[in-house]
Structure 1
């Protein structure tokens, strides 16, 4: 299978090259040239384990990796998860379910893709005899998951930009307390969007990118989105048969990658009814799906920091399909947005998406209410998914992070401190971070000094 850029000005690549490249040279994002259909495979998928299901799905895309090698890479990637179901589906009431995505090594949904991506990078370094330098930006969970996917792997170095003081203390410790020589936690003054913009500028320097064999771990990387499709498929198959085609998936999201994965799976023949984009008070996606205007506003630090984003990178992939796969139109929209900070769609087709918005003032009350009704502790991001939950249809709320990563908010809401052994260990380790300006030239200078060659 070949992969093309949303902006239509880069050559099509195979899976491994698209993964290694990350961001397309024309500034676009890679997508499959054609979307396969899994409509006729659902019955045979029902009894597969999570790693087996992941293999059956990804082998359709990763056609340049020998199947037994791919199977082994996938199997290795999910040995680090603590729950036997990998992504357990918990039933809270007759029609309400929670898909727990926080049983990986960093206790967040990003582990599903980044454990796999780390092992894909290791495979590529070994088979191609090359090193790779990985650059990412994070609002909280991506950075720690990416780092833990590459910890100590030979031939790799990883550089993660994050907004200093705008992640939770434990999220920062997961990035800056590893002690690994190939890990660099880069704390910037500013917001996630500042980090993401600088990252894109660095990747835009094609000579620098090629010289240092730079790759991306953000959800701009195609492998991230494809890997995340699998937990939607797993959840769909474990719902009661009578509820499957009526279920709405409710997805706390900031960068749009998590919910985009489910939507793409729907376009591959899996009959999911629809999706609700659950934002926090940084609500660019809520405004988009309710008004048709995509417009930046100031990022406000929140109790759900992983969603403190105003520029949702993965929206470009949805846009590509929304405008009839017209690369020129995508370029026009994205250039207007970059120049003016807004784009108004005259006839915006929101497809099967709905949206909700949750403020900081509401989050503790929602956590308390969910705990009282169901005895379930939701982290602040998951709490946003419980806002305006519909009772007339089956719903699956994606629980994106362990509540143990946000103890202050949970204590305030229910008076109980959630803990996790891996986080307790971090509290005693030294914090090693590099303060850096979110400027492409400064970031490139740091990479030159510390890159693996």
Structure 2
């Protein structure tokens, strides 16, 4: 399997999986995509139903990274997807499932379910991909005889802690994680800032998440700095993150159906478009997905696009600080991957559109032909507000005695708008409710359950550095730490 950039596919440059793993953006500023999507046969689907999560991950991943020897890849998936790592499930007997499916009930003539993705070490869905990425990085550094990898990432809440916990023990790896200062929940902040590991550097940026993400892209586009200091990324612009997330769409489908001619829909709380992009790719591979429902919060850039065809970025002043903060994003960095497919992989047009987005604040694909094409890919969308998520948290607890987090509540609210009789609806869980306890208390007048490993987390000593939203200041800080 070879890879191309979304912005220069026509030039014929091809890369292997290990060539792109340790980097992030392509040198032309685009995102890496496989030259083609592998097709999954009905016989493979039948066989995959019987597999453990680790073995299913191996079968799917080997289609995308054939330059990793099969025995090494199998060892990596088995090292990553173990019950002891994903033991924070509501029902510990299901830990070996890694991503167990929880059916809530029958609504509007179909089943409404949650795919539990937050049972890992940081209680967020990002762990599913990030734990694999940490093991892949360590493997690649040893295999390619590279001396070090300096990871620069940006987080609006969960990516940072998932990345840091995945990289803590990895030889030759440093992590520099940018987060918007005082704009995450207390639990999310403490998870990151309490880490005292010498290879972990938390940088609180005086700005919003989009400022952090812009800095990561600016540093990635400084090719001299990137090569000198061996800069990589763990954000979902890294293809391996998307690759790992494809797996749980297949697992969720198998757990929700009994045969392979049944269709299902997935609802995905979406900010950066990485999680739902993995669903798009699973659908392109042949997984019988009826709809991919994009759920946004008040920051509804993606919802506006899927309803009108207009992609309109917001300024920092226009971004709402919400109670589902991981989706407080204006620039969905993985959206370019979908647009690449939407435009029949016309990379020159992709380059034109996303350059226009940077300079003019957006682009317009609202013609009837373009909107029809969007529908052909199965995408629909809606938005949720603070009032909606409070009401949904209360309703799910009243009906099913389950407490869900704020982002998952956005997903459930939107999913209910697209229920179809006979088509199971699976909502991808985002995180455990303890990460957003203030809002849970507002909704239910009680504290959410806290896994024992996280007792007194918020009062632990914290280690972080506050810096302005300036790429040069970030680079200066990184130079100092790398050279020390």
TM over 0.5, yes or no? Answer: yes
1:253 corresponds in structure 2 to 270
* Residues 1:81 and 2:107 aligned together: no
The one-character-per-residue Cα deviations of 1:98-147 (angstroms, maximum 9, x if unpaired) are 10100010000000111000111111222233210011101100111011
1:6-85 to 2 correspondences below 5 Å = 6-8=6-8, 11-40=13-42, 41-79=44-82, 80-82=85-87, 83-85=95-97
1:415 matched residue in structure 2: 445
SS in 1 for 2:426: strand
Preserved CA contact (<8 Å) 2:46 2:260: no
Kindly indicate whether residue 182 of structure 2 is the aligned counterpart of residue 165 of structure 1: yes
Deviates more, 1:373-382 or 1:236-245: 236-245
How much has 1:427 moved relative to structure 2? 2.5
Distance 1:304 1:244 in 2: 35
Deviation, 1:149, is 0.8
Of 227, 231, 238, the residue aligned with 2:255 is 238
Q: Which runs of 5+ in 1 are unaligned?
A: none
In the alignment, what sits opposite 1:397?
427
Conserved 8 A contact 1:236-1:244: no
8 Å Cα contact 1:87/1:231 also seen in 2: yes
Match of 1:335 among 340, 355, 359: 355
- Contact between 1:244 and 1:272, CA under 8 Å: does it hold in 2? no
Query: 1:185-233 CA deviation, whole Å, 9 max, x = no partner?
Result: 1101111111111110100011110111111110000000010000001
Check if 1:354 corresponds to 2:385: no
Superposition pairs of residues 166-205 of structure 1, within 5 angstroms: 166-205=183-222
Contact 2:264 2:288 in 1 (8 A): no
TM superposition shift of 1:237: 1.0
Q: Does the alignment pair 1:373 with 2:376? A: no
SS in 2 for 1:165: coil
CA distance in structure 1 between the aligned counterparts of 2:27 and 2:419, rounded to whole angstroms: 46
Q: Provide the rounded CA distance (Å) in 2 between the counterparts of 1:209 and 1:273.
A: 41
Q: Name 2:473's counterpart in structure 1.
A: 442
What residue number does 2:92 align with? none
* CA distance in structure 2 between the aligned counterparts of 1:175 and 1:313, rounded to whole angstroms: 22
How many residue pairs end up in the alignment?
453
User: Helix, strand or coil for the counterpart of 2:386?
Assistant: coil
CA contact (8 A) 1:5 1:31 kept: yes
CA contact (8 A) 1:252 1:381 kept: yes
Deviations 1:276-335 (A, max 9, x none): 000011000000001111001221100000000010011000000111101100000001
Q: Where does residue 149 of structure 1 map in the other structure? A: 166
Give 2:140's aligned residue: 124
Greater shift in the superposed pair: 389-398 or 19-28: 389-398
- Aligned partners of 2:260 and 2:288 also within 8 Å: no
C-alpha separation in 2, matches of 1:293 and 1:44:
42
The alpha carbon displacement at 1:452 in A equals: 7.1
Where 1:21 maps in the other structure, the secondary structure is coil
Q: Is the 8 A contact 1:164 1:189 kept in 2?
A: yes
Q: Secondary structure of 1:34's partner?
A: coil
| In structure 1, C-alpha distance between the alignment counterparts of 2:260 and 2:360, rounded to whole Å | 44
TM-score, normalised with respect to structure 2? 0.91
Whether the 8 Å contact between 2:256 and 2:424 is mirrored in structure 1 is no
Go from structure 1 to structure 2 and tell me whether the alpha carbon gap of 1:452 and 1:251 turns closer, same or farther (over 3 Å shift): farther
C-alpha separation between the residues in 1 aligned to 2:120 and 2:457? 16
Once residues 57 and 452 of structure 1 are traced to their aligned partners in structure 2, the CA distance between those partners, rounded to angstroms, is 39
What SS does the corresponding residue of 1:451 show, helix, strand or coil?
A: helix
The equivalent of 2:346 in structure 1 is: 326
2:115 aligns with 99
Aligned to 1:206: 223
C-alpha separation between the residues in 2 aligned to 1:138 and 1:244? 39
Looking at structure 1, the residues matched to 184 and 14 of structure 2 have their Cα atoms a distance apart, in angstroms, of 37
Indicate the residue corresponding to 1:301 in structure 2: 321
- Partner of 1:25, secondary structure, is coil
Residue segments in structure 2 that go unaligned for 5+ positions in a row: 88-94
Q: Secondary structure at the match of 1:93?
A: strand
Corresponding position of 1:216: 233
Shift of 1:61: 1.2
**Shift in Å, 1:244:** 6.8
Residue by residue over 1:150-203, the C-alpha shift from the partner in whole angstroms, topping out at 9 and shown as x without a partner, is: 003110100010101111111111111111100011101111111111110100
Question: Could you tell me whether the CA contact under 8 Å between 1:157 and 1:452 is conserved in 2?
Answer: no
